[in-house]
Amino acid sequence: MPHLVLTGSLDVSRAVTTCPREVHRWGRAVLKTEECWLRRDGAAMLVEGVVVELSRPQHPVAMVAGRGTDTIVRLWPLSTVERTTAVQRWLCLLAAGLQSTGAGRVRVTNIPREVWSDLGLLLDPELEIGRR
């Protein structure tokens, strides 16, 4: 499953209100972050997106939650969505938006570099690509 692990913990209750809701064009795809919700226990947030490729909309949902001392950004496993490169790009845009509101550097990802290299993501010096 596509994911990014960010260093440090994130205040998700704050991130729900500060997460950028933006529309981006990437090649022939349109990527949009629509809404964010705090999970009932306050330990995670769900982020709703829309990714339109070739006139076909997909509705990915991402989960942002603590994992040990880090924060993970990944597709919500209960949401059935095709894991296209445009959906992966949307996850990377979400991580970049979270970094702009205080999230840490990308420590681990299994998303190919060409999907996110132009986003200006802050990277951990010991970044691991293709792990987990």
Query: What are the tens digits of pLDDT across the range 83-128?
Result: 899 999 999 999 999 998 889 999 999 999 999 999 999 999 988 8
115: phi then psi, degrees, rounded to nearest 5: -75, -30
Dist CA 57 CA 114 (whole Å): 23
Q: How many domains does the chain have?
A: 1
Q: Judging by DSSP bridges, how do beta strands 106-109 and 123-129 pair with one another?
A: parallel
Residue 132 pLDDT > 60, yes or no? no
53-79: pLDDT as tens digits? 988 999 999 999 988 889 999 998 887
123: containing domain: 3-129
Q: Is the pTM of this model over 0.75?
A: yes
Dist CA 81 CA 132 (whole Å): 20
The whole-angstrom distance between residue 52's C-alpha and the CA centroid of its chain comes to 17
